Structure 1
Amino acid sequence: MSTDDERPETPAVPRTRAEMRAAREAEAAAAAASGSGSSSEDGGADRDDTRSAPHEPAPESDRRFTPPAAGSTTEDETAPSRSSEAAGVVPPARSSSEETREPASSRSSSEETREPASSRSSSEDAGADRDDTRSAPHEPATDSDPGFTPPAAGSTTEGEPAAPRDRRFILALGAVLGILVLVGAGLGVVSLTQGPRITEVQVDPAQAIEASGSRMILTANQSLTAIDESQVTVEPAVPFTLDAAGRGIGIRFTVPLDDDTKYTVSIADVQGAGGGPSTTLTQSFTTQASNIFLLRRDVDGKDSIFRTDLTGEKAVAVFSADKINDFRATSTQLVVSLEEDDGSRLLVMNRDGSEQRELALPGEGYVGAIQVSERGGYVGYSYSDKELSDTEGRASVLVTQSLSGDDEPVVTEVGGEEANIFVWQFVPDSAAVLFIDFDGALSLVDRSTDAGVQSLGLATTIQGISRGTYTAIVERLDGSVVELNLADGSEQPLAASSPDYGTATTITPFPGGTLRHVVARSESGVPNGQAIIKVNDEGAATPLVEVGSTDSILQACASPSGQYAAVVIAPDLADNAYDQMLLPLPENMETHLIDLRSGDELVALTGFDASWCQTAPQF
């Protein structure tokens, strides 16, 4: 059996020029060793002999070389002994000048003839650069070639496949890109199958219960088709306006909202501008519980402004002074008028009493009937000079100025002259002022425009102005009470209540109805009782508070949303002395808080001038 048949089969991989050069040198070295100390009989040596000749082992590159068949000789080379081949040892290489190799031409008939790969292109390789590691173009060794050994890891040849590390990187990169494509496609499919969704909500629940005009802004994940107000539902029901464009949906509540209440806004049949299914967008929020500010006067000590919840159990004094004449509150600030010997002072501060600053007055004088415009950022008051005579000084002029104190006080003029004002009110949700001068002329002036004074006829008093409707309730010279549209000047009689409790001395509007203060009289015309009647928009009347002849109702006003009422009562009027302030009031006063929806009384608190009220008590 041929020795070649006993050699293990190895995979065929192309050899580099360095490998072929090493093989040729090993072949030459084997021929030289054979000529110097080996006879031709060595070719028949026992092939199982594992002993090696005493010489240095061949390098790894030489071991890949397959020697010529035994017994094959040429003029320049002799086959190495079989014992050396078996031991894996190759004799020292020949001189480097001997580069041309010729394989053996004959072998035993029982052995397979083989030709080393180095002999196929020896003439072309003779002048090749010995440091060139690129593979030469030749036929790859076959799997049956016993002398073939795969190239070392990291070696590359022209046309050789990419290394495993490169393949792994390419596969990982492809996997990542595939995942991204699948995720993007999935999101697109979800968007198309589910329709628009809400991605952002903006709303201020604390501001919403304090003033009208608060907004809820919804942002969708895509541009939307046009939305109509008929598609929007708010629960509990409250009036609103809609402003929608692109991805945004703005809902403006035209009246303040109830406190401690969950509101749910639903928008039906919302569709993306690019098509796809329609959907209903729904979003909810809960408003905060209300707080109220009250003024408590103390003839023996300092007066104080308190903040409390509607139970009265968490009352905290936020500001104290010797003589507090009046105060008003916005959603962020308090405005307080102080009475001193040389005149009034007007302070603005945060709702907790911090960061106090004083506003400049038109002169040295006295301030009364202060009011604030939440939307316009103004404070207004009636002003009279301290030094006042029949010929000199200003009496009861209307002054408005910015709450920031950045501007000078502005005295209201009619016909180019400073007007003496009998009664006045800020129009809610605006910077406009409605007033009646001493001549009985009813006028409107808007601080935010240069339109000047608008005349609205003659009137005796202003009962109140509805929030969100721009409608005032005024009493004309003939005693009739009308609802006056301040936008266009149109008016209509105020409907009587059912049942009819008689003529009201004061009427305070709130979202959903009015609070009417009526006085019961005996047949001789002597007052024998008072009551506050709630009248809804349909005219249905319900008594809220009733007092006898010994007590007196000084004021009634509603919370911004019309959820609660604050009714100020002076008990035991005969024994309840008046103080000596600019706004003289009984020393002992109580504020009764009532739930307007149920009619139940929540609590009675010591103090007056509730922050829900637009004006001070009138007696």
Structure 2
Amino acid sequence: MAVIALLGAGAVGLGFVSAAQGPRLTSAEINIQGTTTRSGQRLVLTANQSLAHLDPGSVEVTPAADFEVSAEGGSVTVRFTDLLRYDTEYTVRIDPAVGLYTGASSELAYRFATPDSDVHSLLRNTGTRADGSDAPDQILRHRVSGESVNEAVFEAPRIQQYAVVDDTIAAVVIEDSSPSLVLAYGPAGSTTARIDTGGASTVRDLRGAPSSDLLGYVINGGADPGGRSYNNALFVYDFTDSSAVPTEIRGIGGAPLPVIDWYFVPGTTSVLVQGIDLQLYLIDSLDVASVEPLGQHLQLEGFVPGTVEAVVSDPSGDSLIDLLSGDVTPLELPQADIDPLLYPGKRSVLSDRSFIRVYDEVDFSTTPSSVSSSIWITDRTWTRELYRPSAESSRIGDFCVSPNAEFLAVEVTSEGVPDDYDLILGYSNTTTYFVDIADGVVAGGMAGFLPDWCG
């Protein structure tokens, strides 16, 4: 009996210890890839017991990131309201986490690392081979962390434009004065295939949608099997379609739709198309009969990073079109506090309160006059210079924002000589620099121009 009593006492003691333990983390769920491409990603932490009321102040994210938090039962959902930084380890800590029935507290912590980002560029006129012939153009790959720099992933004699879809490079290659759309797979394009463009005289606006395995492009000239000539026709190629036949994007009732501009809607299979009548259409590229008119707008400027809100400009002002709800909201951006003698150029909208713009300053005291460029960022209450080339003679050709709005890719040309390519003109001595939007620090660079972030 003494032995039985002792065992019984031990069992009671173990039960007391178990009851006194605070909550422990049993699982965590998050879309790691989505944290740098779409805002609003959720981290769901699940504990082994229901939690008492959770004070939002007990939740901490390191390094700092904007978030919202909610809890139900044993689950805590942390919703990141902004995009996260590339190649960064984040720690989410809940302290204290209090058990609903035991009152015991503990700390719950979870760590995850966001992915790095590859960015590509086009390097033309790479020099001369030993036999005197021209070296091929190259598409280069660079990792933002700097682990790989200027790694050639595709080569061809004359590359007009390119796009990247996962591990595939799509390039418009000029062969015998005619464009050919080439798909390249494997190391340095060791395996290639071609997409039939119907004898098109030009292929332009080549863009990829990696999240949907889609490629899009606009062609002129050539003809369909029925003999109809293509007039700024948009085609979408689905890499998951075994037929390998591109689909023409048409308008209402299947009518031909000549295109001025177009974009893939981020994270979807849909395209946003601007016709020559300035009418916008939202069309699912996998269900081309689904055509939704969105009204006429003078200019389509792309999307606010991490959203499906399209930025449009009209003489009456700017607007945001939410492609999920269809709502159109006036975009009332702040005025830039900038020297009025500076000439405004390309603009990228970061949110409904901030934007980035390139400005040119012309010095008429020289013959010929000289131009210098700089990039400025404007928020509700301030404007500051974000980037200026180190050499006064250098010129900013183009810039674009990384998908997570962390960096700018800035094309800088230093006394470059223009090449003879049609549609997209390039310059020798062009380097693409990566500028941290938060502080203007140059995080690295790579040879060439046309970074694929600009697609």
Give the TM interval when normalised to the shorter protein: 0.7 to 0.9
1:347 to 1:210, Cα distance in 2 relative to 1, 3 A? farther
CA RMSD of aligned residues (A): 4.1
3-state DSSP of counterpart to 1:452: strand
- The question of whether the paired residues in 1 share the 8 Å contact of 2:376 and 2:383 is answered with no
- 1:568 equivalenced with 2:411 (yes/no): yes
- Identical aligned residues as a percent: 25
- The question of whether the paired residues in 1 share the 8 Å contact of 2:87 and 2:116 is answered with yes
| Structure 2 residues not aligned, in runs of 5+ | 127-133
- The question of whether the paired residues in 2 share the 8 Å contact of 1:258 and 1:561 is answered with yes
TM-score scaled to structure 2, two decimals?
Answer: 0.77
1:239 to 1:375, Cα distance in 2 relative to 1, 3 A? farther
- 1:498 equivalenced with 2:337 (yes/no): yes
- 1:411 equivalenced with 2:248 (yes/no): yes
- 1:442 equivalenced with 2:264 (yes/no): no
How far 1:440 moved relative to its partner?
A: 1.6
> 1: CA distance between counterparts of 2:317 and 2:390?
27
1:224 to 1:319, Cα distance in 2 relative to 1, 3 A? farther
| Number of equivalent positions | 431
Partner letter of residue 439 of structure 2?
S
> 2: CA distance between counterparts of 1:281 and 1:398?
51
- 1:400 equivalenced with 2:236 (yes/no): yes
3-state DSSP of counterpart to 1:192: helix
1:223 to 1:361, Cα distance in 2 relative to 1, 3 A? farther
- The question of whether the paired residues in 2 share the 8 Å contact of 1:370 and 1:379 is answered with yes
Partner letter of residue 136 of structure 2?
K
Q: What is residue 169 of structure 2 aligned with on the other side?
A: 335
1:490 to 1:594, Cα distance in 2 relative to 1, 3 A? closer
Q: What is residue 601 of structure 1 aligned with on the other side?
A: 442
- The question of whether the paired residues in 1 share the 8 Å contact of 2:334 and 2:379 is answered with no
Partner letter of residue 422 of structure 1?
I
| Structure 1 residues not aligned, in runs of 5+ | 1-170
How far 1:421 moved relative to its partner?
A: 0.9
1:216 to 1:329, Cα distance in 2 relative to 1, 3 A? farther
Q: Which moved more, 1:393-402 or 1:261-270?
A: 261-270
Q: What is residue 156 of structure 1 aligned with on the other side?
A: none
3-state DSSP of counterpart to 1:418: coil
- The structure number with the bigger radius of gyration is 1
- 1:553 equivalenced with 2:387 (yes/no): no
Higher helix share: 1
Q: What is residue 584 of structure 1 aligned with on the other side?
A: 425
- The question of whether the paired residues in 2 share the 8 Å contact of 1:400 and 1:409 is answered with yes
State the Cα deviation string for residues 543-584 of structure 1 (Å, max 9, x = none): 4125899654221112233332211023325xx132325533
Partner letter of residue 246 of structure 2?
P
- The question of whether the paired residues in 2 share the 8 Å contact of 1:428 and 1:466 is answered with no
1:423 to 1:555, Cα distance in 2 relative to 1, 3 A? same
How far 1:499 moved relative to its partner?
A: 3.6
> 2: CA distance between counterparts of 1:343 and 1:438?
23
- 1:383 equivalenced with 2:219 (yes/no): yes
How far 1:466 moved relative to its partner?
A: 0.8
Aligned equivalent of 1:456, options 276, 294, 319:
294
> 2: CA distance between counterparts of 1:514 and 1:549?
24
Partner letter of residue 397 of structure 1?
A
> 2: CA distance between counterparts of 1:323 and 1:252?
46
How far 1:506 moved relative to its partner?
A: 1.5
> 1: CA distance between counterparts of 2:215 and 2:293?
23
1:506 to 1:527, Cα distance in 2 relative to 1, 3 A? farther
3-state DSSP of counterpart to 1:609: coil
- The question of whether the paired residues in 2 share the 8 Å contact of 1:207 and 1:214 is answered with yes
State the Cα deviation string for residues 153-194 of structure 1 (Å, max 9, x = none): xxxxxxxxxxxxxxxxxx9xx99x959x958963x5444323
1:249 to 1:439, Cα distance in 2 relative to 1, 3 A? same
Ranked by relative contact order (alpha carbons within 8 Å, sequence separation 6 or more), the top structure is 2
Question: What does 1:237-386 correspond to in 2, within 5 Å?
Answer: 237-240=64-67, 248-249=75-76, 251=78, 253=80, 255-267=82-94, 270-272=97-99, 276-287=103-114, 290-298=117-125, 300-310=134-144, 311=146, 314-329=149-164, 332-339=166-173, 340-341=175-176, 343-347=179-183, 349=185, 356=191, 358=193, 360-361=195-196, 363-365=198-200, 366-386=202-222
TM-score scaled to structure 1, two decimals?
Answer: 0.59
Q: What is residue 468 of structure 1 aligned with on the other side?
A: 306
Higher strand share: 2
> 2: CA distance between counterparts of 1:298 and 1:304?
9
Question: What does 1:480-491 correspond to in 2, within 5 Å?
Answer: 480-486=317-323, 487=325, 488-491=327-330
